[in-house]
Every structure is written in structure tokens, then in C-alpha cells.
């Protein structure tokens, strides 16, 4: 009895605090973000902890009324066990969004098979897993392998071009006459200066070119799946290609994937890749308020929330 009362008190406090923190109230939705296991616990890790970009996603979603947590990729399904089945009632539940940010290497991105089987929406930041590379985490938004995806590493990019202004995620985003909008901020003073130490033990944060980093997951315009809807692109000059320029895209539930099957859930090809192959894993932190607004909107769309544009807070720094 005391335990039940304690649970009720805690839930009451959480509901009260949620009501104060989020003017629109909680969404009732939950997102789980996969982070790189080696970055979580290994002594060989670059960051000595969860990817900062993944933590930033968690904080931003929580600030917008979404329950969110970060779990290591190696134990993704182990830690989802309590979401699949409520042991007290026997009722099966599901998370509302899986964010596979790219902080895991392409081979370590959790398998999407069970997520597809349960109709869980997926947001993908790992460029390899956007296509059909035979990885467990493939979401098949683009047809084929290496020709269908690319990662763009450049600290010079600031703008993307919105090519579909009618979609709920991009609707109302202010652009110039050609559709360009800045989504990455300029480096803060000192942000791009720290280079860390490469050979000390324990290792410190490794950032060969500083802590300000842009790594973008790109898809191919000509190799997109039949159901993939392109929302935004980077410049061909920046990408070094006229075709591999897609940086934000979606695929709706019931739309056709690259293999001709229909998707049981909504999918999002997200802009930033959190750098599973190394580095400080903080590319998400390079986004400005417009970029973060697009992120929250994309999450809301994926979870089928009615008002996609209801972003309450898009700052990590206030």
C-alpha cells in the first residue's frame, strides 16, 4: 500500500511539474534515442559518455512535452523490454518514436525489424541505414546501396533549401525567395578551438578540427523510394553532387519503401548524423533555433501528433 501511495505521489508531482514546464501539457508520447555503446562505457571512447547530440535531443523533446530517454545501442531492445509488455497487466505497449541518430556506427544501429513489426515510427540520422546496404538498421527510404546515400562533412555549411513548403514539418518556415534558410549557427567563441589530446589515458574528447562539427546524412534524389517525400536539400556545390543532396525527407505510413513493400510506420530522414565513426558526437548542437524547430516538428509528425507546428521551446541555451 505504501509503495502504491508513493508511486501516486511521484506521478502527481511529475504531472504538476510537467504542467508548469510545458504550457501545452505533456503529449503523452515517448521517444527512445539510441546512443553509441562504445561512447557510453568504453575506455576507448571519444566522448567518455553518451553522445552529447543525443542528450541534446532528449532535453529538447522533454522541453516540448515528450517523454524521452537515451539508451546504448547494444542494449536497445533489452531496455525496451518494459515497453513491450506491462508485467502487471499483461498488456503490450510500444514506444512512440525510435530515434537512431547516427551516433552508432552503421553496423551497430539497432535492428529496425522489430520496430517495423510493431509499427514504431523511426527517425534516422545514419546515412548508410537510410538505404539498402544490408545493415540490420536499414529503413529503405532510398533504393540501392552506396549510390543512394552519402555523408557530408563540412563545418562551412549554414543553410539548407526547403523544396517542399506544404508539408506540416516545413510549413511556415521563413526562407528567402529561393527557399534557403539558415539552420546551423556560426561557431560560438572558442567552440571550434579545442582539439583535445589524442594519446593520453584516459582519453579526452577527440576533435581534430574543434568541437563545432557538421556531418549531414544525404540521400539521392534519383534513388529515393517511391514513397519518400523530399523536404529539403543542401546545395550541389556543397555536396559535390547534383543528385546526392537530400538532407531532410519523410515517408508516410502505408507508402512504398525501396523494396516495394509498404511501410507500417512513419519514417524521417533527419539532417544531422551524430558521427558514429568517431569525433565528439555533437553535430546536433550546431543547429540553430530553426534547425531545432524542424527537429521537434519532425518528431511530432512521426508520432502523428495532430498539431505538428506546436513547438513550445526550441532553445537549448536559455
Average pLDDT rounded to a whole number, residues 130-142: 97
Which pLDDT score is estimated for 21? Answer: 36
Rounded CA separation 124/57 (Å) = 13
Considering only residues 315 and 91, tell me which one the structure prediction assigns the higher pLDDT.
Answer: 315
Q: Do the beta carbons of residue 35 and residue 104 sit within 8 Å?
A: yes
Q: What angle do CA 141, 144, 145 make, to 5 degrees?
A: 100
pLDDT score of 135 more than 50: yes
Which pLDDT score is estimated for 238? Answer: 95
* Segment among 120-124, 153-157, 179-183, 237-241 with least mean pLDDT: 153-157
Rounded CA separation 86/93 (Å) = 7
94, with CB counted inside 10 A (0-12, 13-18, 19+), is middle
Average pLDDT of the chain, as a whole number: 84
Q: What is the dihedral of CA 211, 98, 264, 309, to 10 degrees?
A: -70
Considering only residues 11 and 157, tell me which one the structure prediction assigns the higher pLDDT.
Answer: 157
Considering only residues 307 and 37, tell me which one the structure prediction assigns the higher pLDDT.
Answer: 307
Which pLDDT score is estimated for 192? Answer: 55
Which pLDDT score is estimated for 317? Answer: 77
Furthest-apart CA atoms within the chain: distance in Å: 66
Which pLDDT score is estimated for 42? Answer: 52
Q: What angle do CA 50, 30, 101 make, to 5 degrees?
A: 40
Q: What percent of the chain has pLDDT over 70?
A: 77
Q: What contacts 87, CB < 8 A, 6 or more positions away?
A: none
pLDDT score of 115 more than 80: yes
Q: How far is CA 116 from CA 97, 98, 132, in A?
A: 11, 11, 15
**Confidence category of residue 37, pLDDT binned at 50, 70, 90:** confident
**Confidence category of residue 209, pLDDT binned at 50, 70, 90:** low
Which pLDDT score is estimated for 164? Answer: 98
pLDDT score of 237 more than 80: yes
The backbone torsions φ and ψ at residue 87, rounded to the nearest 5 degrees and listed phi first, read -65, -25
Q: In order of start, what are the domains of the chain with their CATH numbers?
A: 21-302 (3.40.50)
Q: What is the dihedral of CA 177, 311, 234, 303, to 10 degrees?
A: -130
**Helices 289-302, 52-63: inter-axial angle, 10-degree rounding:** 70
Rounded CA separation 272/269 (Å) = 9
Q: Over the stretch 253-298, which tens digit does the pLDDT of each residue have? A: 999 999 999 999 999 999 999 987 767 788 999 999 999 999 999 9
**Confidence category of residue 50, pLDDT binned at 50, 70, 90:** confident
Q: Over the stretch 51-88, which tens digit does the pLDDT of each residue have? A: 889 999 999 999 999 989 999 998 888 877 656 666 66
Q: What contacts 241, CB < 8 A, 6 or more positions away?
A: 150
CA of residue 220 relative to chain centroid, distance: 19
Rounded CA separation 29/292 (Å) = 18
Amino acid at each position: 500500500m505504501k509503495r502504491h501511495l508513493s508511486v501516486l505521489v511521484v506521478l502527481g508531482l511529475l504531472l504538476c511539474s510537467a504542467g508548469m514546464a510545458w504550457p501545452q501539457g505533456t503529449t503523452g508520447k515517448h521517444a527512445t534515442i539510441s546512443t553509441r555503446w562504445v561512447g557510453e562505457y568504453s575506455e576507448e571512447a571519444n566522448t567518455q559518455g553518451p553522445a552529447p547530440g543525443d542528450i541534446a535531443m532528449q532535453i529538447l523533446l522533454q522541453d516540448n512535452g515528450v517523454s524521452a530517454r537515451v539508451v546504448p545501442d547494444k542494449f536497445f531492445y533489452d531496455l525496451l523490454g518494459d515497453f513491450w509488455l506491462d508485467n502487471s497487466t499483461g498488456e503490450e505497449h510500444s514506444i512512440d518514436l525510435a530515434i537512431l541518430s547516427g551516433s552508432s556506427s552503421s553496423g551497430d544501429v539497432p535492428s529496425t525489424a522489430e520496430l517495423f513489426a510493431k509499427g514504431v515510427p523511426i527517425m534516422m540520422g545514419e546515412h548508410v541505414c537510410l538505404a539498402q546496404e544490408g545493415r540490420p538498421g536499414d529503413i529503405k527510404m532510398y533504393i540501392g546501396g552506396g549510390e543512394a546515400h552519402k555523408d557530408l562533412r563540412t563545418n562551412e555549411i549554414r543553410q539548407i533549401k526547403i523544396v517542399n513548403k506544404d508539408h506540416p514539418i516545413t510549413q511556415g518556415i521563413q526562407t528567402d525567395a529561393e527557399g534557403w534558410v539558415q539552420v546551423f549557427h556560426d561557431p560560438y567563441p572558442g567552440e571550434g578551438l579545442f582539439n583535445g589530446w589524442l594519446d593520453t589515458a584516459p582519453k579526452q574528447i577527440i576533435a581534430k578540427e574543434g568541437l563545432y562539427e557538421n556531418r549531414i546524412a544525404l540521400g539521392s534524389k534519383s534513388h529515393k523510394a517511391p514513397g519518400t517525400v523530399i523536404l529539403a536539400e543542401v546545395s550541389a556545390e556543397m555536396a559535390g553532387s547534383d543528385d546526392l543532396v537530400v538532407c531532410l525527407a519523410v515517408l508516410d505510413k502505408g507508402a512504398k519503401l525501396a523494396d516495394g513493400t509498404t511501410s507500417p510506420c512513419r519514417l524521417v530522414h533527419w539532417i544531422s548524423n551524430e558521427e558514429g565513426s568517431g569525433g565528439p558526437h555533437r553535430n546536433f548542437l550546431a543547429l540553430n533555433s530553426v534547425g531545432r524547430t524542424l527537429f521537434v516538428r519532425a518528431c511530432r509528425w512521426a508520432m502523428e501528433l495532430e498539431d505538428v507546428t506546436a513547438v513550445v521551446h526550441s532553445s537549448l541555451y536559455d
